[in-house]
Copies of this chain bind each other. A is one copy, B any other.
Amino acid sequence: MVSPPSRSRAEPATLPATAWAVLGMLSFEVEPTGYEIRKWSEHILRFFYWSPAMSQIYAELKRLEKAGYATSRPDVAADGRPRRVYAITSEGREALAAWASGAPVGPPVLKHGPALRVWLGHLAGPETLRRVVTEQRERAERLAEEAERSRRDAVAGTGWAHAELVARWAVRYHRAERDLADRMLADLDELAARRPPG
């Protein structure tokens, strides 16, 4: 006779990483609205983990409330407009801590559109490829700069040491992406030289 599976404190509900990310935002000492969570994720999360859609945020908040990991209360903004603010519960904090230190970490998910295009390069003329990779180079450069700005904001806050660490990682990541694009451009040029047009 095996004891039936029960969800005790040691076994938090299995939620998608997005839910934990949202709950994680509540674990910083603030009481944000769904809208503010979105803005925040645009500000930092997108550099290493994508930014969920507004509707997704609200859906996750609803799920977290249902699980007892978050609570919400009506509030009024500075200008008097009504809004709803969210907070993490102690159960939520416990579950999040258990997840953060216990759950297996899957491999990073990468879907690199520009690389896919180059892979199908035999169908798309060298100019197109150069354009695609150059665009990617510029995007990566832009992201690196934006991540650097985000990092500087993190330095300002106290208790944001890990946020700053990740921001630093993100800056390096997007610089690496830029460099990779540069090397790809060089390789493309070399290929074009080996196989002259016509």
Residues of A within 8 A of B (CB): 17, 20-21, 24, 27, 44-45, 48-50, 93, 96-97, 100-101, 105-125, 128, 132, 135-136, 139, 159, 161-163, 165-166, 168-170, 172-173, 176-177, 179-180, 183-184, 187-188, 191, 195
Known interface pairs A123-B96, A123-B97, A180-B176. Does A114 touch B108 (Cβ–Cβ under 8 Å)?
yes
**Distance (Å) between the CB of A71 and the closest chain B CB?**
19
SS class, residues of chain A in contact with chain B: helix
Neighbouring B residues of A121 by C-beta, 8 Å: 100, 161-162, 165
Contacts of A106 on B, CB cut-off 8 Å?
Answer: 113
- Closest B residue to A166 using CB positions: B119
Q: How far is the CA of A135 from the CA of B107 in the complex (A)?
A: 9
- CB of A119 within 8 A of CB of B176, answer no
Q: Which residues of B contact A108 (CB under 8 A)?
A: 110-115, 136, 177
Write out the residue numbers on chain B whose beta carbons fall within 8 Å of the beta carbon of A179: 176
| A119 lies within 8 A of B48 (CB) | yes
A120, A169, A195: residue with the most chain B Cβ atoms closer than 10 Å: A120
Cβ of A172: which chain B residues have Cβ within 8 Å of it? Answer: 180, 183
Give the residues in chain B near A17, CB-CB below 8 Å. Answer: 111, 113, 116
**29 pairs, A vs B, C-beta closer than 8 Å:** A20-B116, A24-B120, A44-B119, A49-B115, A50-B109, A50-B111, A96-B120, A96-B123, A97-B124, A100-B124, A101-B124, A108-B112, A108-B114, A108-B115, A108-B177, A109-B110, A109-B111, A115-B166, A119-B163, A119-B166, A121-B161, A121-B162, A121-B165, A122-B159, A165-B184, A169-B183, A169-B187, A172-B183, A176-B176
